[in-house]
Chains A and B, each alone.
Chain A
Amino acid sequence: MDSLKRRTTHRKRWDRLFQGLFGAATLFGVVALLLLITDILRKAAGWIDLQFLTSFPSRFAEDAGILSALAGSIWLIGLTAPIALPLGVASAIFLEEFAPQSSLTRLIQVNIANLAGVPSIVFGILGLALFVRALGAGRSLLAGALTMSLLVLPIIIVSAQEAIRAVPDSQRQAALALGATKWQAVRSVVLPAAMPGIMTGTILALSRAIGETAPLIMIGALSFVAFLPSGPLDQFTVLPIQIFNWTSRPQEEFSHVAAAGIVVLLVLLLVLNSAAVLIRNHYRKRFEA
């Protein structure tokens, strides 16, 4: 009896020890994020001002600004969304609503899953060979947007598929029973109901595109752009490339400029993601009302 008791206390001690360890591991991620953010804010302090936001890059850290990169990022997203969103949603509709249960359908599905795991730099290589060289788009915003569209396409497809799958079948049946064609049922019942999910997924995909650097380096986005792009065929830079460029400079001051650039990038991401949350909540309310 006594030894059993001792063993139980012993086991309980182990239990508590591991609970502490596991808890600490969970805290690790939280602490890492806090460290990262405070470190960057500390280094960026004093470097984000109106001058920084409204200037072009410069050889001198004090004069350097983020304007062309910010404009480039916004241009890039503005061009990527209208390419990737319809393609992604159409693919998802096909796979969920129209595709026959064939081996081709399965192949498309498996392919999408695998494409999502292809390193982004490989998409850059594709963009370089296909859009920059073969299609002659050059090192333009358009080439960048096309590359980014292919990169985020799997993310949009998968999230749109999930959103479409979540629409109850009774809704489709109700539309079909009123004599709707399949496409009418999809267009006027399924899609509207799936839209919040599709929008959230798309915004998350676009946040991914905003943070991507490597594919755009591959297609030759510049790192020193002292003009604002005025059309899709213009050359460009984006926030992460500008940050990469500043980070690579040996002078200590540029490290601060880079931190300031990171803050701008993170704020942009924060804005996008908040929009996603707002959209989700807005529609959720509408649906439940």
Chain B
Amino acid sequence: MMANTSDRFILQTRNLNLWYGERKALANINIDIQPQRVTAIIGPSGCGKSTLLRCFNRMNELLPGIRIEGQVLYNGEDLYGSNVDVTEVRYRIGMVFQKPTPFPKSIFENVAFGPRIHGLTENLAERVERSLQQAALWDEVKDRLHHNALGLSGGQQQRLCIARALALEPEVLLMDEPTSALDPVAAGKVEELIVNLKKRYTIVIVTHNLQQGARVADTTAFLLGGELVEIGPTSEMYTRPRDNRTEAYITGRFG
């Protein structure tokens, strides 16, 4: 039942097509994501990066008028299979959004949110602390865990959202431009965090910032007009792109 394809990959798409109503947003995407690596998805605005990312935890389904063809495999299993519970998918594959989205609750309750709704209330305080530590936020908030999370700075809020996702011990963390709403210092901290997290988690990150992509990603995928142009080791991609459209994008000629 498991692993009918190479189990070197944790997430794979097979001929993935996606339409928003009449408009085609993803065309025939075949992409393989390696476990415990950081994979960056780059490409000009509107090329479908967020759309692709949201296919990995089925967040796309929330939109009306959306149509998906092809397969997304998770450890070789069809994520969209009829026996798959979408909440379980999102429990195993976490997501961090572009803008920090703390709930207007205490810092503790924010991190405890996922465990609570999944019934993981044993050793909750430990779990919260561990998650905050992994998100490199613990030292800054340990004295005010019960203060409202909206009182944190933007960068702290984003790390809180990462901690909130980590509290479920997901296998994969999807991040959609997680630093673009942050100032450079805060963005640097989050970036550092991402590099550390890949020891434990598989990370797929969408970024507009090519330097950031170069710094954090092991693998980079370049998307253009809903198509996957090229995917490969980041260093190769940035120095010797195989496709001249990739080269054009990386050298800043469009996008």
Chain A interfacial positions (CB closer than 8 Å to B): 101, 170-171, 173-181, 184, 188-189, 192-193, 286-289
A258 to B95: give the CA distance in the assembly, Å: 64
**Which of B5-13, B33-41, B57-65 lies on the face that meets chain A?**
B57-65
Could you say which residues of chain B place their CB within 8 Å of the CB of A173? 59, 62, 97, 101
Give the residue of A101, A188, A286, A287 whose beta carbon is less than 8 angstroms from that of B113: A188
* Minimum Cβ distance to chain B for residue A206 (Å): 26
By CB atoms of chain B within 10 A, which of A170, A176, A192, A288 has the most? A176
Q: A188, B117: Cβ atoms under 8 Å?
A: yes
Chain A residue with the shortest CB-CB distance to B102: A174
Q: B97, A178: Cβ atoms under 8 Å?
A: no
Q: A170, B117: Cβ atoms under 8 Å?
A: no
Q: A177, B95: Cβ atoms under 8 Å?
A: yes
Taking chain B's interface residues, is the majority helix, strand, or loop, or is none over half, making it mixed? helix
By CB atoms of chain B within 10 A, which of A171, A178, A189, A286 has the most? A178
> Are A286 and B148 CB-contacts (below 8 A) given A177-B90, A178-B168?
yes
A45 to B87: give the CA distance in the assembly, Å: 65
Q: A179, B118: Cβ atoms under 8 Å?
A: yes
A151 to B187: give the CA distance in the assembly, Å: 53
Q: Does B99 contact A (CB under 8 A)?
A: yes
Q: A176, B94: Cβ atoms under 8 Å?
A: no
Could you say which residues of chain A place their CB within 8 Å of the CB of B99? 170
Chain A residue with the shortest CB-CB distance to B164: A178
Q: Does B195 contact A (CB under 8 A)?
A: no
Could you say which residues of chain B place their CB within 8 Å of the CB of A179? 87-91, 114, 117-118, 168
> Are A178 and B94 CB-contacts (below 8 A) given A173-B101, A193-B104?
yes
A interface footprint on B113-138 (CB within 8 Å = 1, 0 otherwise): 11011100000000000000000000
Could you say which residues of chain A place their CB within 8 Å of the CB of B148? 286, 289
Nearest 9 interchain pairs by C-beta: A179-B91, A174-B101, A179-B90, A177-B95, A178-B114, A179-B87, A170-B101, A184-B117, A180-B117
Chain A residue with the shortest CB-CB distance to B87: A179
* Minimum Cβ distance to chain B for residue A227 (Å): 47
Q: B104, A177: Cβ atoms under 8 Å?
A: no
* Minimum Cβ distance to chain B for residue A268 (Å): 32
> Are A177 and B94 CB-contacts (below 8 A) given A101-B64, A184-B117, A286-B104?
yes
A287 to B161: give the CA distance in the assembly, Å: 17
* Minimum Cβ distance to chain B for residue A138 (Å): 46
Q: B62, A287: Cβ atoms under 8 Å?
A: no
A286 to B147: give the CA distance in the assembly, Å: 10
Q: A178, B165: Cβ atoms under 8 Å?
A: yes
Could you say which residues of chain A place their CB within 8 Å of the CB of B117? 175, 178-181, 184, 188
Q: B168, A170: Cβ atoms under 8 Å?
A: no
* Minimum Cβ distance to chain A for residue B121 (Å): 14
Give the residue of B62, B104, B161 whose beta carbon is less than 8 angstroms from that of A176: B62
Give the residue of B57, B59, B104, B150 whose beta carbon is less than 8 angstroms from that of A192: B104
Could you say which residues of chain A place their CB within 8 Å of the CB of B62? 173, 176
Could you say which residues of chain B place their CB within 8 Å of the CB of A177? 57, 59, 90, 94-95, 97, 165
